[in-house]
Structure 1
Amino acid sequence: MPILILGIDIISEHPKRFAVVSWFNGKLERKGEFTLYRLIRFIQSKRPDIVAMDSVTELGDDLRKFLRALPNETKLVQVTGRPGEQRSLWSLAKEHGIRAGDKFDPYEEAKVCALLAARGVGYEVLAFEDEVVIKVTRGRSHGKGGWSQDRYRKRVHNLVRDKVREIEDRLKRADVPFDLEVEEKDYGLAKGEFKVYASREELAGLIRPMRGGDVEVRIYPVERAEMGFAPLKSERAIKERRSIIVGIDPGITVGIAAIDLSGNIVALHSERNMPVGEVFRFISDVGHPVMVATDVNPAPGFVEKIARSFKAQLFVPRESLRVEEKNELLRNLGVSVEDDHQRDALAAAYKAYLRLKPKLDHVEAKLREAGLTKRADEVKALVIQGYNLGEAMQRVTLRERPKREEEKPEEKPSVDLGPYLRRIRELEKRIELLERENEELRGIIREQRKTIGRFERRLVDYDEEVRKKILRERELEAKVKRIERLERELREAKAIIERLSRDLAQVKRMNVIEIRGSAVPLKVMEVLSWRELERLEREIGIRKGDVLFVINPAGAGKAIAESLVEKKIRALITEKPLPLAVVEVLKEAHVPFFTSQELDVKRVDEFAVVERETLEKAIGELLAKWAEEDRERETEKFLRLIEEYRIERVKELMRKAEDESKSH
């Protein structure tokens, strides 16, 4: 796969400036000079696979900041090796056949760093544990006082609770181990904090950060107390460090055992609640593992993670080791252990060694024949890593040659060192003077920081007084506005009470009339429409013989009039004239209809009554009038039928007379 590597080297300390060279698919390109801020922005935009340096100490106090700013997939690599085991950049370049120009040119050093990293040389700097903290909190301030703020606060706490449950469910379904602490409030949660035992890469796509809403989700990787260093290629670590076989027993108490390639125990340890980073550091201090072993099948994820970190082979027995078998292995070793965890780890490591022993013995025999017994462990480790014996021996012998060339004694130059020594003494005096001056300036800075702190505290006190004064003024203003609003509401309430009192008096009078039986209650509709008719049926009901009162019948049609006829209402009273289509239907069905002016309807809001005597009289008169009109129509119809019959009879007689005359 084509990868992008950035080689960087420092140009100046104050301010920090770096030379940057990129390596992509075999092509080198000088990118220019960058400040630390611009370098971080450039890395975040390009997202390289590796950022290579000869020494990460060049970043100084900004190292942690730099590592936190790197994209998840970008590795920071120190090409010269682990701290305390570092080699010269130029000797590494010579060993790997890299031509170097001016050794004092930062761009040349950056180029060499990029080329070495491209060959798999160097150690990745590990700043973070395989642990992540996920914090779920509210996203905004609730504000102060009032029912609306209380409701909003409870709503937000419920949202926080729901988000915590969602994340908890996702982690459980993904089988990711975690611990959870919550703070309960308002039958919800004020916050939730997860401690997840997985790396940032493992959580990618599973949990996403959220900002800017009612709920915030923030993800923080857990930083290591001390930097870790893992080789880019285990082959490199094999050459530089002691090769070991490591057995691990994971759990609440972690057991670790390490043996060398001759079967000798070099480390045995167990510790409760030991994080992954501590396990990694403990093993790194002992040596470089070429194989990581477990005593159970299948291998636990914890053991697989350690093996991947060291680029080591993973040993898993064909079936989980029994307790009797583990005890037998320890008896063969002739050692005693402190607890079962150390026993399980040592049994796993020794079982892996026994599996490899025939191959290792064969390698050692061949190396004795070739006279390479001094580099036996390195060759054995390469064979374990997958190289065949010939390839491993060739790589070791090739590495020996540059060393021997470097070990040749150099001829002493015949140069007068006096001026250089005098210059060195002058510079040492100048350094001593600058150090004293630096210490004095640091003292001044400390005093100024104390003064600034004192003024900042006074400013905070002053700000608090101003804030309290502003709050008092705001509270007073809010109270004045509240009083004005309440007075306005009081006036409106008095007006409503006065109107309702008048209506109540009218209703009482209407009730008296109704109780005496001298009035008929009317069922009131605002408009003559289907919706209003359904409302009236739902709330009060329409029964046979009811009298309806419609305020505005405009727009009503034939269908709704036919529906009223089907309901067999006794009469319909309206404030405005009825549409012609409704009139025709009601008149044909002999359902009386009147206007409120004709019957003197008394109405208060949704109540209306009409005097019974007046209503009965009007209905009787209207029905009598319609009956008379019906009789007149029937008479006219009868006379019209007689006339039609007479005309038809005359026509028929005339046809007969014509027929008879034609026959004679």
Structure 2
Amino acid sequence: MKVFGIDIIHGSVRSRGERPRFALVIRDDGEERETTEVSVFRLLRLIAREEPDILAVDSVQEIARDQKALFSFLQSLPPRTMLVQSTGGEKQESLPRVAARYNLKFNRFDPFAEARASAVVAELGGGAEVVAFENTTDVTVSRGRSLGKGGWSQNRYARKVHGAVRQTAREVEETLREQGLSYITEEVKAFGGLGRVHFVVSSPREDVPVRNVRSADVQVKVAGRRLDRIRYRTRGGGQRYLFVGIDPGTTVGIAAVTLDGEPVLVKSSRTMAMPDVIEALYTAGRPLVVATDVHPMPASVERIRRAFSAVAYTPKADRTVEEKKALCGDIPYGNDHERDSLSAAMDAFRAYQPKFRNVTKRVPAGHDMDEVRAGVVRGLSLEQILGKKVPSPVEEEEGEEVPAPGPRDDRLLQLDGMVKSLRGHVADLQAEGEAKDLEIARLNALMERERGKESRSLRKDAEVAKLDTIIANQKKKLRREERRTKKLRKQVDRLRRLATSQTGDDRLLVKATESLSRDAIRQVDADFGIAEGDIITVKTTAGWGTTVLDTLAEMRIRALVGDGDERLKDACLERGIVLLHPKAIGLEVRGPVGSADASRFAAAEEAWQKEIARYEQGKKSEMIESIFREYRTEREREVKRDG
């Protein structure tokens, strides 16, 4: 594992004058390899070149002035480099306090020592990972430069660039497919290929085997999709061990402190049953010792202790109220029950402090002291906890091994009696367990029967609800269709009346509108409907746009009647819309409809078809001439190159 640890020497990311300088400590597979002073630019270059597993810092405020800058910094890191805040996540602790959990000591006024401590803490699994991106990655393949205005060879250059974008996108897609990654694609077509391809990959950025690339024609950008805010994920440590004190009774009091004596839970309740107590303690941490303020331990507390396999602690004699208050110290509590439970937890904490201090002196740096102290409380030796021989205080002072004293006979007898007592207790527990297994089996069978009844009832209710929903949806559709049918009937009646009044055997019906705009066309469609083969006339064509022409082309009208300029004529020719002059067809308009002379309309329509033929012929001639010019230019270049 390669770890970079940094700490700021001078300067600040918030300063406009003095840019920050960092102390950098590089550790490789548990060994320190290099220490140096770097700027932000050089730090990022080193990270990009060596791609460390972890970049450790005691505070992210040293590398980014705000969340936006922190997002940018994280985006610049290699995909597999994890940014770790060694002092924790949302709730930070001081670096000396975090380092003490791993028995690390350092000079907090030396930036290189702080960088080294941050690196070691992160290497040992401490700190919190800074998380900024979702498990979704955007991969964008696009042009590497603008095409510009261009010249004679602009079309050929555009085909080359857009073809390169398409080829690169296919290679990226093949890579994602080979890795079995799920993705969706959005393509923007362009002349000769693709102008832009966007892949949305359903995997985190570090699992996407595509890198940022920029060449003359194509660029590939890989970016994780940002979260709404920066989040922190605690690493490795999990829940902390606790000393727990419990005061049973009608009102239950519970308290819990860490192995460093920090209170994490002090509460009491009249409605709290034993399962609720167990759940509250499980949420607070990992109970290591369960204590009471009386001797012997009450049976209800003993059951809770067994639920966590915790070590029991009781005082040799019942504590007085003054002793309980002294044990609680400055830690606040609300009532006598909270005081009794808190004093029991603190009593157990203080009882183990001499052992903890002795262990801290003997354990080498770089070990999780919470795990070591938990092993000591459970009765394990340091050799068992650390998996190797640890020198005793006498060996450390005199430099030689001291043999352990031989066991005494009375001690053996005592242990033998303890074994027999434990065996009897185990037999009782086994019998109790068998009885409970039978009761559990009976209750499971009863529960399965009740669950079957409930399941059938739920399925029936769900089916009825489903059918009710279908019926309601069908009623809505029926009402909608009835309204639409009524509207269409009105349109048909209106059209019949107008057609009868405006047209004869030698006249054609024409639907009229004020202007050539989308709103006007929509109004005609709403009033009379526009169907394939209809003739539409407009009073004025001023302000026309390509969108309304596209709409009329999609409706496949027979002809558009109006007085248009050359631009409108070209646009209609391009879309296959017949554009006729009102005078050419003998148009007469009365209100929202009009009529045209059938014979004159046919003649004008035939003339327009000839115009379309000439337009198509011109387009073909222009295309052939363009190809010929391009060929001639290419041949001239080849002749000059060969000459």
Coarse TM-score class (shorter-chain normalised): 0.3 to 0.5
* TM-score (norm. length: structure 2): 0.37
Bigger radius of gyration among the two: 1
Larger fraction in helix: 1
Structure 1 length-normalised TM: 0.36
Q: Relative contact order, CA 8 A, sep 6+: which one is greater? A: 2
